[in-house]
Amino acid sequence: MRREGRSRWWIAAVLVALGIAGCGSDSEGGGGARTLNWYVFNEPGGAYEQAVKTCNESARGRYRINYVRLPTDANQQRELIVRRLAAKDSDIDIIGMDVIWTAEFAEAGWIKPWTGARQRAARAGRLAGPLKTVEYDGRTWAAPFTTNTQLLWFNKDKVPTPPAGITWDELIDRAAKAGTGIEVQGNQYEGLTVWVNALIAGAGGEIVGEQGQDRVGPTAETAARIVHKLATSRAAPPGLATNKEDEARLGFESGRSSYQINYTFIYASAAELPGGFQKKIGWARYPRTVADRPSRPPIGGINLGVGAYSKNPDLAFDAAQCLARPENQLVASEKGGLPPTTEAVYDDPKLQKAFPFADLLRESIEAGAPRPVTPAYSDISLAIQRTFHPPDEIDPDEVVSKLRERIEKAGEGKIF
Amino acid sequence: MSERRRSERRLAWMLCAPAVIAMLIVTGYPIGYAVWLSLQDYDLRFPDDREFVGLSNYADVLTSSIWWGDVWNTTIITVASVSIELVLGMAIALIMHRAIFGRGAVRASVLIPYGIVTVVAAFGWRYAFDPASGFVQNLPLISDTAAPLTERGGSLAVIVLTEVWKTTPFMALLLLAGLALVPDELHEAAKVDGAGPVQRFFRITLPLMKPAILVALLFRTLDAFRVFDTVYIQTAGANGTETVSILGYQVLINRVNLGVGSAVSVLIFLAVILIATFFVRGLGASTARQRGEAA
Amino acid sequence: MLRSSREAALWSIGILVVLLYALIPVLWILSLSLKPADQLGDRRFVPQEFSFENYETIFNTETFTRALVNSVGIAGLATLISILLAAMAAYALARLDFAGKALILSGALAVAMFPPISIVGSLFNIWREVGLYDTWPGLIIPYMTFTLPLAIYTLSAFFREIPWELEQAAQVDGATPFQAFRKVIVPLAAPGVFTSAILVFIFAWNDFIFANTLTSTDEARTVPAALAFFTGGSQFEQPIGAISAASIVVTIPIIVMVLIFQRRIVAGLTAGAVKG
């Protein structure tokens, strides 16, 4: 009897202690402000830090955003976030989502939809390309924040005539003739899917519909012929099959290749190179797949979603909305080289200064082809990567049947 | 007497119980749970579709060309690295066994690869062969633009090299312990009979070391079959280097498909048991024969 | 002993080859870690200039410093627990006579052969339900799958070498059982326990697959997993210099331990396998 009484006291004491500790951690950081964790890739230019600071100040103590950095590699970012969301982690309030995650996260119930006034605010003034990446099943699942696209960059010292409106075929022939390379992302990872998707869209094709239904057609063969042609031509850089964005940038900077297909970050990072290298960089729109159709450049970027298990979803929506505001987009483009999703920001003189190619950028994003919007996206992407890698061993005649078979298996959750 | 033996036995079991129970819980429970998961259609992205599907996940894995391709890749890596290690490890063991001086230096230096974190070793070799920053292509006789990690043969070679570098020391130490069990008198006697060093190695040393060699091979084969860290860091399974462990990781962790992924896990477990049984049979046979000869 | 200077030269070459073999990759990473950022691509084995900027970077990065603390803590606790449990079992295996000895030893061997990929999926699913995901215990428990068998093997091999009669002799000389244990057995057993602990620690320190799948933040991520998650100068840049510097930091303590205790480590590594 007495013993039981004593143990009750102990339990009560522990509970009180836990309660105090719990309150303590809740009220941490600026007098009663709720902490909201924002999971997003590390932006070393300081743009995200500044956006967080601006929003924390304007929140006047209602919330405090905590910027949690994810790794460089997009596959790793997704793996980490997916594992935590599958573990129903309530620490995840705001997610800096790669544009390709929307359907998967929405279908699994890991993010909350944006509705009513919030939805209108999230969509207001945004470019059409980025908007498509936040839609799934007729609803809006995130606020477009930054976007991205690839341009055809060239070394003006070595390329006398700008390759405007050029097709991939002509580009490869031209580079091979001049004895120089074309840097592009040929590693077996998401970057390869980006390339293949842009090629297929550029020929007017599609890979899958929203429900994952197979739409693979002869355009996949056209894409495979281009990838294979480059990989087996003299214009292929030595590490094509392992090239990611950064290897491509280094190959271009070293002078090995006079052309590269890459995102806008390469322009900002060239500013630090000796010899005024940045001034030598020329740009043109993404190459065409076929001569009679304008190209469909890839669309990347980050959307802001709200975690389904967040303890403070209302505050998280407010904070995400604040982070995605045009002034923060401008900071992201100035400091991080990340293009904005709000159309009006492109007219800002500061942006024109950060991106001398701002008009081409807007044009590319407007014409851009999003990657397939389907909950099985990561499987589809894996199927594309397996089918198109290694680039020099693709058999274009078999690509359509192989890709079809893999996509079908991916849709059934099988091994492919 | 029997009372004492009984109490001794009870004490022994009490002392062993915590460790035994801990081992059973940390391995037995998860593997049993994996079997249970492998019988379900269970994808964390579609949690509502969870249902019991019997053996169909196994049928899916066993009929896919990816699985068999990965088994083949794993086998190539295992056989290549273990056989190179055996030869190299034997050479190092002989140097250490016969060395007149510098024994300590050799022993210390071979332990270094053994102590290094596998991930670090994998990065080290990956960077060494990187076409943009590696020193290997800068060496004479090697093509300036060689990029082994961009194609299958080269990638497999670098993976095997990393595995061999890292684990040969372990092989060498096990073999050295086996060498120490070979009596010197036999060598002396054979020398008197006029046998050369090569003959003595193949006629005396090798047969007597057979159990030690089999133990070393068993350890390393099972270890190599599980290869994950090196492949994950160096190619992540690209260029046709995907191993069964990488496939398991990809299905379980990247695709969060716990049903199919668990089927892959259980199949890998069964493969390991199969290999172990094979070696233990061989080992039992060889030790039995030796005992028979000795008797 | 030296039969000829030719033989001595041959041995020297053999030893030199082994030394080079063991050290080249380590020296290469050391070289990378000391190169300034703009010379990382110079492909030279020896840096032209030395710089500690990569070391400064990693020690100012929370991802790395937290991972280092996690690695030391998790590997240390896993070692402690498995040595405690294994020491009891190893004592029984070495000293007491009972049926089932062979069963326990072969069972431990079987567990040591266990492929980690076979259980990461289950553990992930169980851990996320019970809240052990991304925690220290969430890694320490699966580490038992390889630390326990290894500890049992090496410890029972060491314990078999201990002259236990001395304990009785001390008791005959008037020492209490506890005194006999503390003054006689503990000093005899300590070196073996210590060596086993080092071996177990190296194994736990090396783990990548559990750390990579069962953690997701700085809370519990260990260095090998953190290395794979380092972030570069921009969204797309690869942090070669930082990874190399971090690699050297986690390698040095192990090399120092291995060099100091090499003789005993060799004994521990081989004893279990050959006698078992």
CB B31 to CB C122 under 8 A? yes
At C190, list the tokens: 């300590």
Q: Which residue has the tokens 């080249």?
A: C24
B188 touches chain A (CB under 8 A): no
How many C-beta atoms surround the C-beta of residue B81 within 10 A?
A: 27
Which residues lie below 8 Å from residue C247, measured CB to CB, with a gap of 6+? B117, B120, B123, B124, C29, C33, C227
| DSSP H/E element including A261 | strand A257-262
Fold for C62-275, please state it.
MetI-like fold (1.10.3720)
Of the candidates A409, A210, C213, C115, which has an alpha carbon nearest to the alpha carbon of residue B256? Answer: C213
pLDDT at C22: 86
The DSSP secondary structure of C159-222, one letter per residue, reads HHTS-THHHHHHHHTT--HHHHIIIIIHHHHHHHHHHHHHHHHHHHHH--HHHHHS--STTT--
Domain ranges across chain A:
11-147+300-367, 151-298+376-411
Q: What is the pLDDT of residues C209-257, one digit of tens each?
A: 999 889 887 889 999 998 887 765 555 666 888 899 999 999 988 888 8
pTM of the model: 0.85
Q: Which residues of chain B have a CB within 8 Å of the CB of C240?
A: 127, 133
Q: Are the Cβ atoms of A72 and C237 closer than 8 angstroms?
A: yes
pLDDT at C94: 87
- Is residue C78 helix, strand or coil? helix
Mean pLDDT taken over chain A: 88
Q: State the amino acid at position C269 in one-letter form.
A: L
Cβ <8 Å between B239 and A241: yes
Residue range B265-271: average pLDDT?
Answer: 95
* B130 contacts: CB under 8 Å, gap ≥ 6: B149
Note the pLDDT tens digit of each residue in C254-274: 888 888 887 777 777 766 554
- Residue C223 tokens read as 């260095």
Residue A10: pLDDT over 50: no
What pLDDT, on the 0 to 100 scale, is given for residue C271? 61
Quick check: A239 contacting C, CB < 8 Å?
no
Burial B205-218 (b: 16+ CB within 10 A, else e): beebbbbbbbbbbb
* Helix (H) or strand (E) run with residue C52 in it: none
- The token pair at B157 is 């070679």
- The tokens describing C194, both together, are 């210590």
Whether the pLDDT of residue A58 is over 90: the answer is yes
Picking from A157-171, A320-334, B207-221, which range would have the lowest pLDDT averaged per residue? B207-221
The domain locations on chain C are 1-51, 62-275
pLDDT digits (tens, 9 = 90+) for A241-285: 888 888 899 889 988 899 999 999 888 888 878 888 999 999 999
Is the per-residue pLDDT at B54 higher than 50?
yes
Kindly give, in sequence order, each residue whose CB lies less than 8 Å from that of residue A83, ignoring residues fewer than 6 positions away.
Answer: B253, B256, C124, C133, C213, C216
> Which of A77, A211, A242 is the best substitution to test chain B (most B C-beta atoms within 10 A)?
A242
- Please tell me what DSSP assigns to residue A369: B
Q: Quick one: closest CA in B to C113, which residue?
A: B222
Per the structure block, which two tokens stand in for B39? 């019988």
Residues 6+ positions from A155 with CB-CB distance below 8 Å:
A252, A255, A258, A259, A280, A281, A282
**Residue A343, number of CB atoms within 10 A of its CB:** 16
Reported confidence tier of residue A290, pLDDT bands at 50, 70, 90? very high
User: Which domains, and CATH codes, for chain B?
Assistant: 39-294 (1.10.3720.10)
Q: Which two tokens stand for residue C127?
A: 């851990």
Q: What percent of chain C has pLDDT above 70?
A: 93
CATH of A11-147+300-367, picked from 3.40.50.720, 1.10.10.10, 3.40.50.450, 3.40.190.10, is 3.40.190.10
Q: Among all residues of chain B, which has the CA nearest to that of A188? A: B238
Question: In this predicted structure, what is the pLDDT of residue B288?
Answer: 58
Contact A390 B151 (CB under 8 A): yes
Eight-state DSSP code of residue B24: I
Half-sphere exposure in the Cβ direction for B64 (13 Å, CA): 23
pLDDT at A33 over 90: no
DSSP code of A183? E
For A151-298+376-411, CATH number out of 3.40.50.620, 3.40.190.10, 3.40.1410.10, 3.40.1390.20 equals: 3.40.190.10
pLDDT score of C33: 92
Residue A136 CA to residue C186 CA, distance in Å, equals 68
Does the model's ipTM exceed the 0.95 cut? no
Shared fold status for A11-147+300-367 and A151-298+376-411: yes
Q: Which tokens is C232 given? A: 């570069």
Q: Is C229 on the interface with A (CB under 8 A)?
A: yes
Model confidence at A130, in pLDDT bands (50, 70, 90)? very high
The string of DSSP letters for A275-336 reads GGHHHHEEEEPPPBSSTTS----B-EEEEEEEBTT-S-HHHHHHHHHHHTSHHHHHHHHHHH
Q: Taking a contact as any Cβ pair under 8 Å apart, which residues of chain C between 154 and 213 contact chain A?
A: 213
**Over 50: is that where the pLDDT of A24 sits?**
no
Mean pLDDT, residues B36-40: 95
